[in-house]
Amino acid sequence: MSTLVRNDTNLQVMRLLVPINATDESRWGIRYALRQHREGKPIEVVLLNIGEPVTQWQVLRFRTQQEVAEFQALRAQSFIDDASAALVAENVPWRGLFRQGKRVFSILDAAEELECHQIVMPAPKKSVANIFCGGVVSGVRQEQRDVPLVVVNSAGEPV
């Protein structure tokens, strides 16, 4: 396992995987990262957006798989650009990543592949509208391998 080291210290950089989408809740992980940074911990943030494969014939009747993938990649880039603004403002190292696939698998796979130290996700709200988000957090928790899951509230504090 390779380690990133900042030139000015001998501290290991903690790589955080923060899955993001268009929701404000997905930005809670960024608040957690900023808290870690403000406490003086060397961090790097990986902003991950996932596009689920489109298989509905109603869509594929008018668009090719390539057109759908290109559209998803463009949307992902806009989410990543928006989410990264707070990190850029505080000089926090980050990178963006788009993956196409099932959410839970894509999160766990990216965390392992990129040698992340934590996966940071928002605590699911108790509402019908957030059943899907809660399902992803629950799925990551159940399928979790070696990378710990940190669930955070709207202030970016672990819960």
Predicted local distance difference test score (pLDDT) of residue 79: 95
Domains and CATH numbers, the chain: 14-152 (3.40.50.620)
| pLDDT tens-place string over residues 46-61 | 999 998 776 655 555 6
| pLDDT tens-place string over residues 83-122 | 999 999 999 999 999 998 999 999 999 999 999 999 999 9
- Pair 110, 97: CB distance under 8 Å: yes
**Cα 97 from Cα 46, distance rounded (Å):** 7
Token pair listed for 130 = 């957030």
Predicted local distance difference test score (pLDDT) of residue 156: 97
| pLDDT tens-place string over residues 16-42 | 999 999 999 999 999 999 999 999 999
Q: What pLDDT band is residue 138 in, cutting at 50, 70 and 90?
A: confident
